[in-house]
Amino acid sequence: MRLNEYRIVWVLVLFDLPTETEKQRRNYLRFRKELLKDGFSMFQFSIYMRHCSSYENAKVHIKRVKNNLPPQGNIGILMITDKQFGMMEIYYGKEKIPTNPPPQQLELF
């Protein structure tokens, strides 16, 4: 099946983790490091996102996130289509910022 904006998905991980003790800070840093290692990039503080070429590929990355959940804190995982992501409006203050185009996908015939 050819890639299209309804089949391509974005996985967003939203989290609020405690950082009051040294152990909590280590857990936070480990969780963040694992997200980066798995190809996620920071969208905003405590919101990381990853572009996935299919729903099946997104499920693999969601499973990795679940395997690295810290013992404390709130974590949300959201999956949206590329079409939905493209309709997002981003502002810096009152100034609208143009959104970056999605990464190019290599398609082999």
Please tell me whether residue 69 adopts helix, strand or coil conformation: coil
Question: What pLDDT does residue 93 have?
Answer: 84
* pLDDT at residue 5 in the model: 67
For 51-95, what is each residue's pLDDT tens digit? 998 999 999 999 999 999 999 999 999 999 988 998 888 888 888
- In angstroms, the CA 98 to CA 48 distance is 19
Nearest 5°: CA angle at 108, between 104 and 109?
Answer: 135
Q: Please state the pTM of the whole predicted model.
A: 0.81
Q: How confident is the model at residue 31 (pLDDT cuts 50, 70, 90)?
A: very high
Full set of structural domains in the chain with CATH: 9-97 (3.30.70.240)
Q: What is the pLDDT of residues 50-63, one digit of tens each?
A: 999 899 999 999 99
